[in-house]
Structure 1
Amino acid sequence: MKKNIAEERQDRVKELTRFAEENKIPVKNMILLNTALTHTSYVNEHKNQVHHDNERLEFLGDAVLDLVVGEYLFMRFPSWPEGDLTRAKASVVCLQSCAECASRFHIGEHMRLGKGEEKSGGRTRETILGDAFEAVIGAIYLDNDYEVVSRFILGHMKKFLDIVDEGTYDHDYKSDLQELVQKDGCSHVEYKVARSEGPDHDKTIWMDVYINGKCMGHGTGKNKKSAAQKAAKEAMATLQHK
């Protein structure tokens, strides 16, 4: 038997309440959270029932995210000039990091999408997930205060902030290594994960880099990109001191 609109709304509130509780999302107003998880394609297909998508909340959340991360970096690195702070912030506040954060608590499974967007894989699309994460931030900010949303953001962005602390967020050692080995007539550079430990939200990766089949560097980081950069940096030092 098909449910009426009132029953569907009650089920949605129950779903979102569980979702918020299980993932420690500090939103009390389920209308705000529901809007944060409503894609414009859903509104276009339900104009008589739904009037608000998540784009305004995404706009607000983007501004709050920018402020929180900017403030953290400003306080964390008091000697850095504006240019370094800007590059560091850009490495943290980006679509990829927002989408990864959204994936950790399965935002895609709770999005309201239009049928076409659903069929085309919208629940796992990076842009939709990243935008939804920012919209959730906007909802948390409106429903709480700055301190609450700041703790939420810094907790979920810890992995990316740690990369800034490691100092490998800005310089591309992999490209430098590739250029160096090409000058020496070498052609094959390969990165391999030696091992990984820890849960997905706090994983440590060990990476080795091989040049023409010989291991020339090791790196450890919170993700593959960071570990590979460190491995490339060590390999460059090894080659330059040969």
Structure 2
Amino acid sequence: MNYSDLYAKIGYTFKNVDLLTHALTRTAYARENELSMHDTMDSLAVLGDAVLDLIVICRLIGDGEFDKGEITRKKIDLVNMSVVRRLAEDIGLPAYMKWGKGELRMQIWTSGRVSAECFEALMGAAYLDGGVEASRSILDHVWKP
């Protein structure tokens, strides 16, 4: 698949396109198509969630925040499900996902958690592809707080 339009939207080109493909593959799709569960987004979403937290916490500290409670509160405000869902929707990420048939029928991406997980998987894949700088560059490109 050609991801050039997605690359333009996120401001990053994957060196290992398989990582991006994994990030865009839902478990239901993999089951229906007899793909390995290794080739799905789930583990990448967990990683991407941690990467988002890392990037935001580093920014807060870099901006001079030093209080543990304030860092935690601000991080929660900046990377909550609603914010991350909006990032996914702003780049049209659901259109690139490989959905299971039931997910397509139910339009499951309209659930905030599902869209947020898709963006987290993208961030996790970017981290594995190019380190924290790759993930940071995507966030810088798509995040307009």
TM-score, scaled relative to structure 1: 0.55
| 2:52 alignment counterpart | 65
Q: What is the CA-CA distance between 1:45 and the residue it aligns to?
A: 1.2
CA distance in 1 between partners of 2:50 and 2:8 (Å): 25
CA distance in 2 between partners of 1:111 and 1:35 (Å): 10
Amino acid at match of 2:57: G
1 or 2, which has the higher helix percentage?
2
| Match 1:87 to one of 69, 73, 77 | 73
| 1:150 alignment counterpart | 136
Whether 2:113 is the aligned partner of 1:127: answer yes
| Match 2:25 to one of 35, 38, 49 | 38
Residues 47 and 124, structure 2, Cα contact 8 Å, conserved in 1: yes
CA distance in 2 between partners of 1:122 and 1:115 (Å): 10
Residues 17 and 30, structure 1, Cα contact 8 Å, conserved in 2: no
Q: What is the CA-CA distance between 1:157 and the residue it aligns to?
A: 3.3
User: SS in structure 2 opposite 1:144?
Assistant: helix
- Computing the radius of gyration from Cα coordinates, the structure with the larger value is 1
Q: What is the CA-CA distance between 1:29 and the residue it aligns to?
A: 1.8
- What is the CA RMSD across the aligned residues, in angstroms? 1.7
1:206-221 superposed matches below 5 A: none
Residues 111 and 123, structure 1, Cα contact 8 Å, conserved in 2: no
How many aligned positions are there? 144
CA distance in 2 between partners of 1:59 and 1:26 (Å): 21
Whether 2:101 is the aligned partner of 1:118: answer no
| 1:139 alignment counterpart | 125
| Match 1:77 to one of 58, 64, 72 | 64
Residues 98 and 130, structure 1, Cα contact 8 Å, conserved in 2: yes
| 2:90 alignment counterpart | 104
Structure 2 CA distance for partners of 1:25 and 1:126, relative to 1, 3 Å: farther
Any unmatched runs of 5+ in structure 1?
Answer: 1-12, 160-242
Structure 2 CA distance for partners of 1:19 and 1:36, relative to 1, 3 Å: same
Deviation digits for residues 171-194 of structure 1 (CA, Å, limit 9, x no counterpart): xxxxxxxxxxxxxxxxxxxxxxxx
Identity between Structure 1 and Structure 2 (%): 30
**Stretches (4+) displaced over 4 A:** none
1:227-242 superposed matches below 5 A: none
Any unmatched runs of 5+ in structure 2?
Answer: none
Deviation digits for residues 177-232 of structure 1 (CA, Å, limit 9, x no counterpart): xxxxxxxxxxxxxxxxxxxxxxxxxxxxxxxxxxxxxxxxxxxxxxxxxxxxxxxx
TM-score, scaled relative to structure 2: 0.89
